[in-house]
Structures are given as structure tokens and as C-alpha cells.
Amino acid sequence: MLRGVDTAAQPGGLRAITRDAVRTRLSEIAIDLFTEHGFDNVTIEQIAAAAGISTRSVHRYFPAKEDMVVGDPAAYGSVVRDAFTDRPGHEPVLSSLQAAFTLLLDRGGQDIRGKAALCIVTSVPALRARNHEKHLLWASLLTPVVATRLSGSDADLRAQVLVQTALACFDVALTTWVAPVETRTPAELLKVAFDALPT
């Protein structure tokens, strides 16, 4: 624990930590309720009651019920983009993308509740649509930085192909992970997916 530092006055200080903790707890409560009763059968009012706060307070943290499952796509996309940017410039692009997505997976969400959230996403049309929007956002963040690593003509087009390929590997790894019989981690499954790509 840091001592003698005014974290409340810094970016990501105490206020941000508290906000993140509340968002995480609300998301956990919502996912538990969605798992037990079904996404469409749970209201914001029920989530608020289970959390012991007002419906208005819930809306301050999550504008829509879908956000409680999908999270903040921009934040996750930035993690992947920054991780890719930090990779060595001489490394093959797909290897850098694999490492970037692996870093995201290593940051969490691989527990029972993470599996439950992904099961909800794959079974609810509105959440599948939101997940697609997330991938479009991630692609818009990743494609320009991938293009800077490519030489020759059509760098933007080739960057889009590489990013969409990486996103497909990420999706397949995660949807495989939620199968009840699957014992490998998402990162292990991501490696299998990337290894299946032609060299």
C-alpha cells in the first residue's frame, strides 16, 4: 500500500478506484441474477435492490443493462492496442496480436463468473450485437497501428485482414472456453487458434 501519496488527486486515484469497485460489484450481482433468472427476466430495479442502491445510482454506473455484461469496450480495446504497440517492431504482426490479446486475457475474467458472463453474451441476441460493436471498435483502434508495421501497397487493407483474423481467433478461443467440458485456459485456446493459421 502506498503511503503519503494523494491518490484522490491523481488519475486513477481513490475516486476512480471506488468507482471501479462499485462497477465491478454491480456487474457481479447482475451476472449472478442473469445466470439464475435469464437476462431478459431481470430488471435494473431488481439489480439495484440486490445491490442495496437506487435504480438511479445503477444508471450512473451503467447506462444500459447490456453494459453490465459486456463492460467498457473502449478500455479493453485500448489495452490490446497499447500491448500491440509495445511489442518489438521486428516481430511478426500476428505474433504481436496474439501477445496483445493474451495480455488482455491474463488481466482477468477467466473465473466462473467470467464464463457465466460469456455464456450470457452468446445466448442473448442484444448482447451478441453489442459484442459485435465491441469488435468493430477494437478493430478501429488496432488497424491503424497494425498498418504502421506493414510495408508495401494496401497496408490498410492488409491490416484490416490481420486484425479481423486475430479477433476471430480471440472469439473462437473464448467460445470454446465456455464449453462445460473444456479445461484449458483462454490463453491456451488462443494459442491453439493462432497456431491453426497458415504461415
Domain ranges of the chain: 7-68, 72-195
Q: Which of 196, 186, 8, 17 is nearest to 104 (CA)?
A: 186
174 and 109 in contact (C-beta within 8 Å)?
no
Q: What is the pLDDT of residue 40?
A: 93
Q: Is the model's pLDDT at 3 over the cut of 50? A: no
Taking the C-alpha atoms of residue 118 and residue 160, their distance in angstroms, rounded to an integer, is 25
Task: Pick from 102-106, 181-185, 192-196 the range whose average pLDDT is largest.
Answer: 192-196
Q: What is the pLDDT of residue 108?
A: 65
Q: What is the pLDDT of residue 109?
A: 57
Q: Alpha-carbon dihedral of residues 176, 179, 184, 189, nearest 10 degrees?
A: 0
Q: Is the model's pLDDT at 49 over the cut of 90? A: yes
Taking the C-alpha atoms of residue 165 and residue 129, their distance in angstroms, rounded to an integer, is 19
Helix axes 93-106, 125-147, angle to 10 degrees: 130
Q: What is the pLDDT of residue 130?
A: 86
72-195 maps to which CATH number? 1.10.357.10
pLDDT digits (tens, 9 = 90+) for 109-166: 566 778 888 889 888 888 888 888 888 999 999 999 999 999 999 999 999 999 999 9
Q: What is the pLDDT of residue 128?
A: 87
Q: Is the model's pLDDT at 50 over the cut of 90? A: yes
23 and 62 in contact (C-beta within 8 Å)?
yes
Q: What is the pLDDT of residue 9?
A: 43
Q: What percent of the chain has pLDDT over 70?
A: 91
Q: Find the mean pLDDT for residues 57-77.
A: 86
- The CATH topology of domain 7-68 is Arc Repressor Mutant, subunit A (1.10.10)
